[in-house]
Amino acid sequence: MEEDEIKMKYERMKSYFITEQAIQKLAANGIWRELINALSESDYNFLGQNVIKFCPLYSPASHAKINHQIPAHSHLVIFDVNALCKRPPRQAVAILLHELGHIAHPSEGEFGADRFASERGFALDLISDLEEQIRENPKEFNVPLNLKRVEALKKIGDADPSNP
């Protein structure tokens, strides 16, 4: 990818974070670069047009000083920075893409959200994450819906054949 394009994506993504405090940590864990590269030009326009902002949180509770105007009906993608940083970068990004999918396909539930991630080449990463969660947190995750999600993701796979 062209250096200019990376810089443009970097600046645009930064503008979609309501606070910059998490960016450094995401970058140190390889998540930031994976995220800015996962989205196409039209995805960036989608973020801008729908006023979608990323709002990092640090579990169990944290505060964020917001340096943006957040108009009514904006969408916030709220995520636990530490939980994401425990994961391989692509798995972390798959989770964020899934959340964007809820905004892109509001009437399609989990399957529409998963499809958004798979269309960007992250089906396998989402499957890995779901399977890990089902194994490690069965009480919360070993439910019919999640098993169906894994099945559906395996069926549709990645839209991008260059994804390893």
Reduced to 3 states, what is the DSSP secondary structure of residue 11? helix
Q: Which two tokens stand for residue 118?
A: 């798979």
Pairing of strands 52-57, 75-80: parallel
CB under 8 Å to 85, separation ≥6 — which residues?
A: 25, 26, 29, 31, 92
Find the shortest distance in angstroms from Cβ 56 to Zn ion: 18
Q: How far is the CB of 145 from Zn ion (least distance, A)?
A: 10
CB of residue 110 to Zn ion, shortest distance in Å: 5
Residues that bind Zn ion (CB under 5 A): 110, 113
How much helix, strand and coil, in percent to the nearest 5, is found in the chain?
Answer: 60, 10, 30
The tokens describing 49, both together, are 């047009």
Contact criterion met (CB below 8 Å) for 117 and 58: no
Beta carbon of residue 149, minimum distance to Zn ion (angstroms, whole number): 9
